[in-house]
Protein backbone atom coordinates (compact mmCIF):
# COMPACT_ATOMS: atom_id res chain seq x y z
CA UNK A 1 0.00 0.00 0.00
CA UNK A 2 2.85 2.41 0.77
CA UNK A 3 4.03 2.18 -2.86
CA UNK A 4 0.53 3.12 -4.08
CA UNK A 5 0.44 6.08 -1.72
CA UNK A 6 3.78 7.38 -2.94
CA UNK A 7 2.79 6.89 -6.57
CA UNK A 8 -0.31 8.96 -5.90
CA UNK A 9 1.87 11.68 -4.40
CA UNK A 10 3.76 11.90 -7.67
CA UNK A 11 0.66 11.79 -9.85
CA UNK A 12 -1.50 14.38 -8.10
CA UNK A 13 0.95 17.27 -7.95
CA UNK A 14 -0.32 20.81 -8.28
CA UNK A 15 1.05 23.12 -5.61
CA UNK A 16 4.54 24.48 -4.98
CA UNK A 17 6.91 22.37 -2.90
CA UNK A 18 9.47 24.11 -0.72
CA UNK A 19 11.79 21.34 0.44
CA UNK A 20 12.00 19.50 3.76
CA UNK A 21 9.73 21.73 5.82
CA UNK A 22 6.76 20.59 3.76
CA UNK A 23 7.22 16.85 4.26
CA UNK A 24 5.34 16.94 7.56
CA UNK A 25 2.51 18.91 5.99
CA UNK A 26 2.23 16.45 3.08
CA UNK A 27 2.36 13.36 5.29
CA UNK A 28 -0.28 14.75 7.65
CA UNK A 29 -2.53 15.38 4.66
CA UNK A 30 -2.05 11.80 3.51
CA UNK A 31 -2.76 10.45 7.01
CA UNK A 32 -5.92 12.53 7.28
CA UNK A 33 -7.13 11.27 3.91
CA UNK A 34 -6.51 7.62 4.83
CA UNK A 35 -8.28 8.10 8.16
CA UNK A 36 -11.28 9.59 6.39
CA UNK A 37 -11.91 7.02 3.64
CA UNK A 38 -8.95 4.58 3.60
CA UNK A 39 -7.89 5.77 0.15
CA UNK A 40 -6.37 8.83 -1.49
CA UNK A 41 -8.85 8.86 -4.37
CA UNK A 42 -6.98 11.72 -6.03
CA UNK A 43 -8.52 14.23 -3.58
CA UNK A 44 -5.40 15.53 -1.88
CA UNK A 45 -3.42 18.39 -3.37
CA UNK A 46 0.26 17.53 -3.34
CA UNK A 47 3.39 19.59 -4.12
CA UNK A 48 4.79 20.02 -7.57
CA UNK A 49 7.45 17.33 -7.54
CA UNK A 50 8.92 18.50 -10.85
CA UNK A 51 9.56 21.94 -9.34
CA UNK A 52 11.25 20.23 -6.40
CA UNK A 53 13.57 18.33 -8.72
CA UNK A 54 14.42 21.43 -10.75
CA UNK A 55 15.55 23.29 -7.63
CA UNK A 56 18.43 20.84 -7.33
CA UNK A 57 19.30 20.17 -10.97
CA UNK A 58 18.05 20.50 -14.49
CA UNK A 59 18.79 16.89 -15.34
CA UNK A 60 16.33 14.46 -13.76
CA UNK A 61 17.71 11.34 -12.04
CA UNK A 62 15.76 8.46 -10.55
CA UNK A 63 17.79 8.87 -7.37
CA UNK A 64 16.06 12.25 -6.93
CA UNK A 65 12.76 10.42 -6.63
CA UNK A 66 14.28 8.10 -4.03
CA UNK A 67 15.41 11.04 -1.89
CA UNK A 68 11.90 12.52 -2.11
CA UNK A 69 10.34 9.16 -1.24
CA UNK A 70 12.62 8.45 1.72
CA UNK A 71 12.05 11.89 3.24
CA UNK A 72 8.30 11.61 2.74
CA UNK A 73 8.19 8.06 4.08
CA UNK A 74 10.08 9.19 7.19
CA UNK A 75 7.39 11.79 7.83
CA UNK A 76 4.66 9.25 7.14
CA UNK A 77 6.14 6.83 9.66
CA UNK A 78 6.30 9.63 12.24
CA UNK A 79 2.84 11.08 11.57
CA UNK A 80 0.78 8.02 10.62
CA UNK A 81 1.42 5.94 13.71
CA UNK A 82 -2.04 4.38 13.53
CA UNK A 83 -1.13 2.72 10.23
CA UNK A 84 1.52 0.05 10.93
CA UNK A 85 1.82 -0.81 7.22
CA UNK A 86 3.90 2.37 6.82
CA UNK A 87 7.05 1.12 8.47
CA UNK A 88 9.69 0.53 5.80
CA UNK A 89 11.44 2.58 3.15
CA UNK A 90 10.73 1.71 -0.48
CA UNK A 91 12.84 2.61 -3.49
CA UNK A 92 11.50 3.34 -6.93
CA UNK A 93 11.44 0.03 -8.88
CA UNK A 94 14.72 -0.64 -10.71
CA UNK A 95 16.48 2.14 -8.85
CA UNK A 96 19.34 1.54 -6.45
CA UNK A 97 20.74 4.83 -5.11
CA UNK A 98 19.49 7.05 -2.28
CA UNK A 99 21.88 9.90 -1.46
CA UNK A 100 20.22 11.52 1.54
CA UNK A 101 23.45 13.14 2.73
CA UNK A 102 24.09 14.68 -0.72
CA UNK A 103 27.53 13.15 -0.82
CA UNK A 104 27.71 12.68 -4.58
CA UNK A 105 27.53 15.26 -7.36
CA UNK A 106 25.15 14.90 -10.31
CA UNK A 107 27.73 13.25 -12.53
CA UNK A 108 28.62 10.71 -9.83
CA UNK A 109 24.96 9.84 -9.24
CA UNK A 110 24.37 9.29 -12.94
CA UNK A 111 27.41 7.00 -13.10
CA UNK A 112 26.25 5.02 -10.07
CA UNK A 113 22.75 4.58 -11.46
CA UNK A 114 24.13 3.32 -14.77
CA UNK A 115 26.69 1.06 -13.10
CA UNK A 116 24.19 -0.63 -10.79
CA UNK A 117 21.60 -1.10 -13.54
CA UNK A 118 24.23 -2.81 -15.68
CA UNK A 119 25.14 -5.20 -12.85
CA UNK A 120 21.46 -6.05 -12.41
CA UNK A 121 20.98 -6.70 -16.11
CA UNK A 122 24.22 -8.56 -16.82
CA UNK A 123 24.88 -10.48 -13.61
CA UNK A 124 21.38 -10.81 -12.11
CA UNK A 125 22.58 -9.21 -8.87
CA UNK A 126 20.88 -6.37 -7.00
CA UNK A 127 23.00 -3.79 -5.19
CA UNK A 128 21.74 -0.73 -3.28
CA UNK A 129 23.77 2.31 -2.18
CA UNK A 130 22.35 4.46 0.65
CA UNK A 131 23.90 7.51 2.31
CA UNK A 132 22.08 8.72 5.42
CA UNK A 133 22.64 10.59 8.67
CA UNK A 134 19.55 9.13 10.37
CA UNK A 135 18.47 5.51 10.94
CA UNK A 136 14.87 6.31 11.91
CA UNK A 137 12.76 4.31 12.65
CA UNK A 138 15.59 1.87 13.38
CA UNK A 139 18.09 2.37 16.15
CA UNK A 140 21.29 1.34 14.39
CA UNK A 141 22.87 0.90 10.97
CA UNK A 142 22.55 -2.90 11.02
CA UNK A 143 18.77 -2.92 11.52
CA UNK A 144 18.38 -0.01 9.10
CA UNK A 145 20.32 -1.75 6.32
CA UNK A 146 18.49 -5.07 6.67
CA UNK A 147 15.12 -3.30 6.83
CA UNK A 148 15.72 -1.54 3.51
CA UNK A 149 17.30 -4.62 1.94
CA UNK A 150 14.47 -6.96 2.93
CA UNK A 151 11.80 -4.47 1.83
CA UNK A 152 13.33 -3.92 -1.61
CA UNK A 153 14.94 -7.24 -2.55
CA UNK A 154 13.47 -9.00 -5.56
CA UNK A 155 13.40 -12.68 -6.46
CA UNK A 156 14.10 -11.61 -10.04
CA UNK A 157 17.80 -11.42 -9.18
CA UNK A 158 19.07 -14.98 -9.04
CA UNK A 159 22.37 -14.12 -7.37
CA UNK A 160 20.76 -12.18 -4.57
CA UNK A 161 20.75 -8.67 -3.17
CA UNK A 162 23.21 -6.51 -1.23
CA UNK A 163 23.15 -3.07 0.33
CA UNK A 164 25.91 -0.62 1.26
CA UNK A 165 24.84 1.98 3.82
CA UNK A 166 27.15 4.71 5.05
CA UNK A 167 26.73 7.55 7.51
CA UNK A 168 29.40 10.24 7.34
CA UNK A 169 28.02 11.98 10.42
CA UNK A 170 28.55 8.95 12.66
CA UNK A 171 31.43 7.58 10.54
CA UNK A 172 29.76 4.20 10.01
CA UNK A 173 29.68 1.85 7.01
CA UNK A 174 27.63 -1.32 6.71
CA UNK A 175 27.40 -3.96 3.97
CA UNK A 176 24.50 -6.39 4.32
CA UNK A 177 23.47 -9.27 2.06
CA UNK A 178 20.37 -11.41 1.77
CA UNK A 179 20.53 -15.19 2.10
CA UNK A 180 21.10 -15.83 -1.61
CA UNK A 181 23.89 -13.26 -2.01
CA UNK A 182 25.63 -14.65 1.07
CA UNK A 183 26.49 -17.73 -0.96
CA UNK A 184 28.74 -15.51 -3.09
CA UNK A 185 29.65 -12.57 -0.83
CA UNK A 186 30.83 -13.67 2.60
CA UNK A 187 30.82 -11.45 5.68
CA UNK A 188 34.62 -11.65 5.65
CA UNK A 189 34.74 -10.36 2.08
CA UNK A 190 32.39 -7.50 2.95
CA UNK A 191 34.40 -6.48 6.02
CA UNK A 192 37.65 -6.57 4.04
CA UNK A 193 36.01 -4.35 1.43
CA UNK A 194 35.06 -1.84 4.12
CA UNK A 195 38.47 -1.90 5.82
CA UNK A 196 40.69 -1.87 2.73
CA UNK A 197 38.68 0.06 0.14
CA UNK A 198 35.81 2.15 1.52
CA UNK A 199 37.26 3.51 4.77
CA UNK A 200 40.68 4.51 3.32
CA UNK A 201 39.02 6.42 0.46
CA UNK A 202 36.45 7.99 2.77
CA UNK A 203 39.22 9.17 5.09
CA UNK A 204 40.54 11.12 2.09
CA UNK A 205 37.00 12.41 1.38
CA UNK A 206 37.00 10.50 -1.91
CA UNK A 207 33.50 9.15 -1.37
CA UNK A 208 32.57 8.34 -4.95
CA UNK A 209 35.91 6.65 -5.57
CA UNK A 210 35.51 4.50 -2.46
CA UNK A 211 32.01 3.34 -3.38
CA UNK A 212 32.91 2.91 -7.04
CA UNK A 213 35.92 0.71 -6.25
CA UNK A 214 33.81 -1.34 -3.84
CA UNK A 215 31.19 -1.90 -6.56
CA UNK A 216 33.87 -2.97 -9.04
CA UNK A 217 35.29 -5.53 -6.60
CA UNK A 218 31.81 -6.84 -5.77
CA UNK A 219 31.06 -7.23 -9.46
CA UNK A 220 34.36 -9.03 -10.03
CA UNK A 221 33.52 -11.42 -7.22
CA UNK A 222 30.11 -12.17 -8.70
CA UNK A 223 31.53 -12.75 -12.18
CA UNK A 224 34.23 -15.04 -10.77
CA UNK A 225 31.56 -17.26 -9.26
CA UNK A 226 29.95 -18.02 -12.67
CATH number of 213's domain: 3.10.310.50
pLDDT for res 150: 93
pLDDT for res 136: 92
Residues in a beta bridge with 163: 128, 176
- pTM > 0.95: no
**Does any domain span residue 71?**
yes
**Does any domain span residue 85?**
yes
- 162, 145 in Cβ contact below 8 A? no
**Does any domain span residue 141?**
yes
Answer left, alpha or beta for residue 212, where phi above 0 means left and psi between -120 and 50 means alpha.
Answer: alpha
**Does any domain span residue 178?**
yes
pLDDT for res 73: 85
**Does any domain span residue 23?**
no
Secondary structure letter of residue 174 according to DSSP: E
**Does any domain span residue 54?**
no
**Does any domain span residue 11?**
no
pLDDT for res 155: 84
pLDDT for res 117: 93
Q: How many domains does the chain have?
A: 1
Range of the domain at 187: 61-224
pLDDT for res 76: 82
Answer left, alpha or beta for residue 171, where phi above 0 means left and psi between -120 and 50 means alpha.
Answer: left
pLDDT for res 19: 52
**Does any domain span residue 29?**
no
pLDDT for res 78: 81
pLDDT for res 72: 84
pLDDT for res 129: 98
pLDDT for res 37: 53
Spans in the chain with pLDDT lower than 50: 1-18, 39-57
The span from the CA of 171 to the CA of 178, in Å, is 24
Amino acid sequence: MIRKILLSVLLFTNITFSHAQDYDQISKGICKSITKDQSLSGKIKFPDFIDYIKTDADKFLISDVNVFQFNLQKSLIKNCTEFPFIENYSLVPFSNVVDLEKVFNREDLAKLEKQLKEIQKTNRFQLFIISTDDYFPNENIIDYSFSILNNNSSDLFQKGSMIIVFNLKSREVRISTNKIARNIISDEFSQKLIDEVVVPKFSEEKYFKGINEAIVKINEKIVAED
